[in-house]
Structure 1
């Protein structure tokens, strides 16, 4: 990867990107409340299971498809995968999360002047912009290689999950870094899976996670918005 593309990827994957990712746990806080996640081993099990059964089989493959659609300036394909992703958010929290972060990122990239007129036109045609759509737009606008962008997205997701565990399990900072380091082979496997799945194989079927998300909506004490 060229240095410029690498620097763009690091910026997109940075926790300092102002889209509010730090304020969401994606159901993890409810798992902490229920005792499913309670220590380093259970934290790792939670992250690995969610990565392989949800993120790698739905969110990441849809990002791949949106990357190809934006690269081809295929407005119909962008609209299709954009709408399918939003429709698959099966709780109010999960839907609000991706729409809020997608809105923040899409507004940021437009204000930064990223992308040509054709790309901007496709983005602005969407009634609502979830996070994968905004991220795909930014990646294509900045000429970041697709495979690197996919790994960056997966790493950013995993890093946020680990940070939730560091603050809320709680885990120490060193334990958190050990956990993140141990996830690298899992992230590589998840990326390979996402790139190979056919359209009919995509699935975010995870009723346990959905139920935890719905419980979190009425959870009495919480730090995160999902």
Structure 2
């Protein structure tokens, strides 16, 4: 009699294009590090959005989307992406001099005291947690090379490079995390419902992808922004009478 095979005993073939063990581990780490649950304190900062809501610049989902689109393409979003890309590349090849210069420039490239607190506090927390839970032999050397405060995009670039996580994936994950946090702040301040928040995130998808791609190709000479209202918001927030957020 022919033998029968229980379908439950058959080991399925790997799907075409399935992730290797290293690729799966890299994705796991990247999703963890850039998750809203990763404890860098991002939920307590609004990047000036709180003042923009009080001033009437942001009043609904549409105006929040427009504000964030500008921040991504012409403001701190794009600049942070450029810093991340250059730090990742310098760290990947062990260029100590470049790391030091880029980290110093990134720390100086913020328009207000509160934005400095925001990006440096998150950067410090990101590094400390990575050291504790995902330590890597080469990470300490990269941190030491920066010789000072590590702002958030620099910290993400350093850690992802040390763990050999591809730059393009890191970049787009970083932008998704930053945009999601901005939307979360806006949703609490306007306020917006969960569905409207997701609509804003969906509407910004092409902006996030395009900005990430542009940041990957940009030189440090292309750094710069034109979101003066957002810069003013971060300055005015320092003296705002009633505040829920630290920036």
TM-score interval for Structure 1 and Structure 2 normalised by the shorter chain: over 0.9
Question: Does the aligned pair in 1 maintain the 2:78–2:212 contact within 8 Å?
Answer: no
Larger radius of gyration: 2
Please state if 1:102 is matched with 2:156: no
Question: Does the aligned pair in 2 maintain the 1:114–1:141 contact within 8 Å?
Answer: no
Partner of 1:46: 67
Q: Aligned to 1:6, which of 27, 35, 39?
A: 27
Please state if 1:202 is matched with 2:226: no
Alignment RMSD (CA, Å) = 1.4
Partner of 1:219: 240
- Measure the CA separation in 1 of the matches of 2:188 and 2:148: 36
Question: Does the aligned pair in 1 maintain the 2:104–2:148 contact within 8 Å?
Answer: no
Partner of 2:160: 139
SS at match of 2:27: helix
Q: In the TM superposition, what whole-angstrom CA distance separates every residue of 1:149-185 from its partner, at most 9, and x where no partner exists?
A: 0000100011001111211111111111111112111
SS at match of 2:239: coil
Which residues of structure 2 form unaligned runs of 5+? 1-18
Q: In the TM superposition, what whole-angstrom CA distance separates every residue of 1:112-153 from its partner, at most 9, and x where no partner exists?
A: 252224x31230342211111211122122221110000001
Partner of 2:104: 83
Q: In the TM superposition, what whole-angstrom CA distance separates every residue of 1:84-123 from its partner, at most 9, and x where no partner exists?
A: 0111112100111111111111111122252224x31230
CA pair 56-167 structure 1, distance change in 2 beyond 3 A? closer
So what's the TM-score if we normalise by structure 1? 0.95
Q: In the TM superposition, what whole-angstrom CA distance separates every residue of 1:18-73 from its partner, at most 9, and x where no partner exists?
A: 11011100011110010000011101100111110014531101100000011111
- Measure the CA separation in 1 of the matches of 2:134 and 2:172: 25
> Would you identify which runs of 4 or more consecutive aligned residues in structure 1 move more than 6 Å?
none
So what's the TM-score if we normalise by structure 2? 0.87
- Measure the CA separation in 2 of the matches of 1:175 and 1:57: 24
Which residues of structure 1 form unaligned runs of 5+? none
Q: How many residues align?
A: 225
Question: Does the aligned pair in 2 maintain the 1:101–1:130 contact within 8 Å?
Answer: yes
Question: Does the aligned pair in 1 maintain the 2:121–2:151 contact within 8 Å?
Answer: yes
Question: Does the aligned pair in 2 maintain the 1:54–1:205 contact within 8 Å?
Answer: yes
SS at match of 1:217: helix
Question: Does the aligned pair in 2 maintain the 1:114–1:138 contact within 8 Å?
Answer: no
SS at match of 1:14: coil
